[in-house]
């Protein structure tokens, strides 16, 4: 199988990640739930992972790195934890449902007012629209770092505004695009471990700027202050009720080591080179429509297309059954982006590339698209 669905999850993981998970499963107890050797092993490993991730994303305090099951959980914690009755929020058409649905729910419940920056037919936004939509009660801008459908990257420097929280969904960029929270003015960075970070599924988290207060989204066991009625205030315990996925975090920690060893710039250059090779090979094929803005290759390694007027699921099935190529068809949990692109009925077929893909695989995919188009 040629796996080109890395925007959904990376299938190929570094061997060191696999080894770290296996080792943790044999040695790690429950972090912060005891003073015996296996519990302390887990606690040290989790703390070490916090330090690595804080440095990786430019978060000043390791204790402000909070582990979650994925970016969806992190976004729910962030959105529900900072917004209050009467707040106004700005988001964009590029968003995944992990951003949209928490915001929609708060809007439907009458908690917040929501404004959306529109995208054009290439999936681009007008950055001036953010300032236009600002209101006196605007509390936060919640946006993706890059579209999971087009690969278009948002320029966060043109989005941030003084005194307004910037909450960023880095699901598509963490591990593929350098991110420095301080330099970009990010207040809360939400990430998942199983995509560009090359870690296990069931891992993710959030990095929180010092001074940003987030109410707990869930409460429960913490390992400390067990006789108190309320969740402890200390970070990161405040936002980490329940047993952590120590085994997965061990794999995520090893994945960050791997990314640092290879070099994020090296990885990003290869991934975008493969995507560009594919784009150049398919863009002029008769019957192929490619979506997104490819005038600037400061983007993620995604190329999304359709063949003729075929339902995207038919195209993806042919690619899988006839050519052994795995892609992602349908709506991609990005309904507003499909509305902007005009692909609500047809959906689209997404090809997404990783460090472990090869030029030979890309060339095979190009030939497959050519044959299907004919």
CB proximity list for 82: less than 8 A, separation 6 or greater: 139, 140, 165, 167, 188, 212, 213, 214, 215
Range from 136-150, 222-236, 311-325 carrying the lowest mean pLDDT: 222-236
Tokens at residue 95, please?
Answer: 């968003």
Task: Write down the number of H helices and E strands in the chain.
Answer: 11, 13
Band of the pLDDT at 229, cuts 50, 70, 90? Answer: confident
pLDDT tens digits for range 178-193: 999 999 999 999 999 9
Q: How many CB atoms lie within 10 A of CB 298?
A: 11
Question: 125 by DSSP, 3-state: which?
Answer: strand
Q: Are 293 and 150 in contact (CB under 8 A)?
A: yes
- What confidence tier does 8 reach under pLDDT thresholds 50, 70, 90? very high
10 Å Cβ neighbour count for 27? Answer: 15
* Model confidence pTM above 0.75: yes
Which pLDDT tens digit goes with each residue over 270-280? Answer: 999 999 999 99
Q: What whole-number percentage of the chain has pLDDT above 70?
A: 99
Distant-in-sequence, close-in-space partners of 275: CB < 8 Å, separation ≥ 6: 151, 300, 301, 302, 303, 351, 353
**pLDDT at position 85:** 98
Q: Which pLDDT score, from 0 to 100, does residue 29 have?
A: 80
Distance between CA atoms of residues 327 and 275, nearest Å: 13
Tens digits of residue pLDDT in 287-337: 999 999 999 899 999 999 999 999 999 999 999 999 999 999 999 999 999
């Amino acid at each position: 199988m040629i796996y080109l669905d890395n925007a959904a999850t990376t299938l190929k993981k570094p061997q060191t990640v696999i080894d770290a998970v296996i080792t943790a499963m044999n040695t790690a107890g429950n972090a912060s739930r005891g003073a015996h050797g296996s519990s302390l092993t887990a606690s040290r490993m989790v703390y070490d992972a916090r330090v690595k991730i804080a440095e990786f994303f430019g978060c000043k305090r390791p204790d402000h790195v909070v582990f979650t099951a994925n970016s969806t959980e992190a976004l729910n914690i962030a959105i529900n934890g900072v917004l209050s009755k009467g707040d106004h929020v700005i988001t964009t058409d590029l968003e995944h449902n992990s951003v949209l649905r928490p915001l929609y729910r708060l809007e439907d419940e009458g908690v917040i007012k929501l404004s959306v920056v529109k995208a054009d037919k290439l999936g681009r936004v007008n950055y001036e629209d953010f300032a236009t939509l600002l209101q006196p009660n605007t509390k936060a801008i919640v946006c993706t770092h890059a579209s999971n459908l087009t690969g278009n990257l948002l320029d966060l420097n043109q989005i941030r505004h003084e005194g307004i929280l910037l909450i960023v969904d880095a699901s598509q960029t963490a591990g593929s695009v350098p991110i420095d929270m301080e330099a970009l003015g990010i207040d809360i960075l939400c990430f998942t471990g199983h995509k560009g970070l090359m870690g296990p599924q069931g891992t993710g988290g959030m990095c929180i700027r010092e001074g940003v207060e987030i109410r707990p989204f869930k409460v429960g066991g913490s390992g400390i202050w067990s006789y108190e009625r309320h969740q402890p205030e200390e970070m990161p315990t405040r936002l980490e009720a329940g047993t952590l996925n120590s085994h997965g975090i061990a794999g995520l920690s090893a994945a960050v080591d791997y990314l640092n060893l290879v070099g994020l710039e090296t990885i990003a250059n290869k991934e975008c080179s493969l995507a560009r090779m594919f784009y150049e090979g398919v863009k002029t094929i008769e019957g192929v429509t490619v979506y997104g803005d490819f005038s600037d290759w400061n983007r993620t390694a995604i190329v999304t297309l359709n063949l003729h007027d075929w339902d995207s699921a038919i195209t993806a099935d042919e690619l899988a059954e006839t050519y052994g190529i795995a892609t992602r068809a349908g709506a991609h949990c990005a309904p507003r982006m499909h509305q902007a692109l005009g692909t609500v009925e047809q959906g689209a077929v997404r090809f997404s590339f990783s460090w472990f893909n090869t030029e030979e695989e890309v060339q095979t995919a190009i030939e497959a698209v050519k044959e299907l188009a004919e």
